[in-house]
Structure 1
Amino acid sequence: MMVQNNIYIDEILAQYFPAGSWVTCVGQSGANNTTRFVRVDDEQFVLRVYETHQEVDKVKYEHAILAALAEMPLPFSIPKPIRTRDGITIVRTRDGKIAGLFQYLDGVNPTLDELSEIQSYGRTAGLLSASLTHVQIQLRPAYRPYYEIESTHPSCSLQDVLSFCKNPPSEFAEQTKDLLVIYEQLTSFMEQVPTLRQLPHQLVHGDLNASNILVDEDGMVSAVLDFEFVTNDLRVMELAVCLSDFIQPSEEETITWAKILSLLSGYGQSLKLKEAEIEAVPVLIQLRSLDVFIHFLGRYLDQVSPIDIVKEYIQKCALRCNWITDNKNKLITFCVNNLLNA
């Protein structure tokens, strides 16, 4: 359950500031965390309470990545963890949840409808990927690569997911066809893992989407947020995650392809890829959708997410997997034209 109690929030903030010196308001909270905006005198901060785990090492790793990136001349802002009055960046709530405070960053989440905005997003993704190549820290990543899909959620072994898709419970009976698509794509994907393991690896953000970037009044990306899931993974996975949200089968085809081209154009200005990486883009977009579906299935089985969300992501996953199957060759051609490291 998300943190709602103001007294609870005040007890956290008291570890950073003198009692009663702040004003808080509710921030937009995602599926994984609770957010509060905090004002102290003329300064603004963002308080984040982690809701999906209570593992300090995961947050320490995230903060170490942010500290390393802060030393680089990035053309966009990243979150800056604030230290408590005791000099630490991680605190515990009364029931053991982990919380952290960050400097407020100006900007708004984009709609990613304007092509210039999308190009800036692509350029930022490439720049971030190029920067993460140079990050060296002593701590070990807390998360496994996307392609180790059996590790996506502790409540869902791969066999459990396959069984669910092949023989869904009665409450999912109307999605049997979509679940069969997912079953077939999961089975096919597992056969490709040995080849994927041979591709270039590096640190990736892993969840770069519209909710985790900010843009300025001109629509240019001004900040990248939420480094919670940074891990060592396929370099090209970053691009696949960005592309996945533009595959909206209900949208007019010409609009979809214009958005994809804008993203690839921006990304290619910052980073080029090898041919084998480009060939893997379609299957990795499918992997992103499969991963998100398994994530929310696990949350449903843990009684954290409602059934409607799982049903939504089953439909989205099947639609995107089918779209990729139908458009794989065209997508690869677009990638080659914009990203190939000649």
Structure 2
Amino acid sequence: MIQHLLQVYWPEWNGERVKGPTGWNNTTHFIHNEQRRSVMRIYNTHRDKARIEFEFAVLDSLQQVPLSFKIPAPLPSASGDKMVRVQDGSDRYACLFAYIEGVRPEEGSTQAAYSFGEKTGELVNALAVCSIGMEPVYPPYFELLQSYPACSEAFILDFCKQPPMEFKDQIEALHILKEAYADICSRLESLKNLPQQLVHGDLNLSNLLVDAEHPHTVTALLDFEFCTRDVRAMEPAVVISGFLGIADERKAIQQFCEGFASRVRLNAEEIAAIPVLMRLRMVDVFLHFLSRYREGTDESQVLREQVDMLAAGFKRMESSQKWLDDMLFQYLM
């Protein structure tokens, strides 16, 4: 299938294929030939051309802004299109991107935390001035109640109170998620008043590259699929939530905040909202995987793992609240 796509749409890029990392939402393949390298991406979880068009419009706009790091650059096919249908009956889309030098940081690594903060702040500034001319396809995080039509409030609360048999032993963890969901729902309206702009929305260690020889330096930010208009403070909130629970979490968060503040200064209201936005991100992840389970995309084991991980995350947030608040105000003001 991959060879056929290359031969028909990107013949000059055809070459040896190596399967890359596969995430929840897409599959990647590295293409190598004597002249050049590229990365093919296949979108697995949607068939919506408009989502990819908006992502590419953001990337095109960012290409006009001087950046100290690389971002994905889509390669037009022989017909001039940047996305093509996969001819396997699935109606999925495939795209080809120029290869970016760098390596993924080791899981749980804190080496690049300061650089990650710098690049995140730089991206926030760049996205603030991007001119897209299109309406975002993905809703902002604060529109949580409209984002998952497969999971109504009644269904979510009932699932957590009276879960199916395969989740009965997770009743305590589901209670934590139910309480977090109810709390976040009561705060959504207030979040809408925070400063808004385009945000990447999914920055984490799996969506960046670092210099192979200098792993403390971020060289690229990847995967702009979920870019949308949201509150500005959501960008650092997503990153910081990913640092909780790793070794040296305090050091990583401090260094990230220092790097971010060297590029962007948030106001006091935004900083105070970051812990709430972190919990919103975690509730959103729960509803994402609950929807996938209900729609039959994932087996129950996938949701079970997410339930345990997220419940543990909420416990860490509760125990970390005091030092996290102090650190955010100390380094982000």
**1:218 maps to which residue?**
214
Matches within 5 A, 1:153-232: 153-216=148-211, 217-219=213-215, 220-232=217-229
Q: Distance in 2 between matches of 1:77 and 1:19?
A: 23
1:339 Cα deviation from its structure 2 partner: 0.9
Aligned to 1:68: 61
Aligned-pair CA distance for 1:116 = 4.1
Alpha-carbon distance between aligned partners in 2 of 1:113 and 1:295, rounded to the nearest angstrom: 23
Deviation at 1:213, TM superposition (A): 0.2
Q: 1:85/1:194 Cα in 2 relative to 1: closer, same or farther (>3 Å)?
A: same
- Match for 1:16 among 5, 9, 21? 9
State the match for 2:289 in structure 1.
296
What value does the CA root-mean-square deviation take over the aligned residues? 1.6
- The one-letter amino acid paired with 1:125 is T
Secondary structure of residue in 1 paired with 2:298: coil
**Alpha-carbon offset, residue 156 of structure 1:** 1.9
**1:261 is matched with which residue?**
254
Question: Secondary structure of the equivalent of 2:23?
Answer: coil
Counterpart position of 1:239: 236
What residue identity is the alignment partner of 1:281?
Answer: I
Give 2:92's aligned residue: 97
1:115 to partner: Cα distance: 4.2
Give the TM-score, by structure 2 length: 0.94
**Among 264, 267, 277, which residue is 1:271 paired with?**
264
Identity of aligned residues (%): 36
Deviates more, 1:212-221 or 1:288-297: 288-297
Secondary structure of residue in 2 paired with 1:148: helix
Please say if residues 46 and 103 of structure 1, whose CA atoms lie closer than 8 Å, have aligned partners that are also in contact.
yes
Task: Report the Cα offset of residue 20 of structure 1.
Answer: 9.5
Cα drift, residue 114 of structure 1: 5.1
**Alignment partner, residue 86 of structure 1:** 79
Residue of 45, 56, 64 corresponding to 2:49 = 56
C-alpha distance in 1 between matches for 2:233 and 2:46: 27
Moved more, 239-248 or 73-82: 239-248
Count of residue pairs brought into register by the alignment: 329
Q: Does the CA-based 8 Å contact 1:82-1:102 persist in structure 2?
A: yes
Determine if contact 1:92/1:99 at 8 Å carries over to the other structure.
Answer: yes
Q: Which stretch of structure 1 is more off in the superposition, 206-215 or 166-175? A: 166-175
Give the aligned residue type for 1:17: W
CA contact (8 A) 1:289 1:316 kept: no
Q: Look up the equivalent residue of 2:326 and give its one-letter code.
A: T
Deviation readout 1:220-256 (Å, 9 max, x if unpaired): 10001100000000100011110111111xx56xx22
Letter in 2 for 1:241: V
Specify the SS of the correspondent of 2:230: strand
SS of aligned partner of 2:18: strand
The separation in 2 between residues aligned to 1:160 and 1:108, in whole angstroms, is 41
Unpaired runs of 5+ residues, structure 2, are none
Q: CA 1:144/1:51 → structure 2, altered by over 3 Å: closer, same or farther?
A: same
Deviates more, 1:32-41 or 1:226-235: 32-41
Query: By how many angstroms is 1:210 displaced?
Result: 0.8
Contact preservation (8 Å) 2:13, 2:31:
no
My pick for the range that moved more, 96-105 or 111-120, is: 111-120
Q: For residues 273-320 of structure 1, what are the alpha-carbon distances to aligned partners after superposition, in whole Å with 9 as ceiling and x for unaligned?
A: 011111111111111111111111111222222222211111121122
Distance 1:197 1:224 in 2: 27
Structure 1 stretches lacking a partner, 5+ long: 1-7
Match of 1:111 in 2: 106
Q: Tell me: CA distance 1:149–1:10, structure 2 relative to 1, closer, same or farther (3 Å).
A: same
Measured in 2, the distance between the counterparts of 1:21 and 1:284 equals: 43
Instruction: Check whether the contact 1:152–1:294 (CA below 8 A) recurs between aligned residues.
Output: no
Letter in 2 for 1:143: Y
Q: In the alignment, what sits opposite 1:45?
A: 38
Are 1:202 and 1:232, in contact at CA under 8 Å, matched by a contact in 2? yes
1:218 maps to a residue whose letter is H
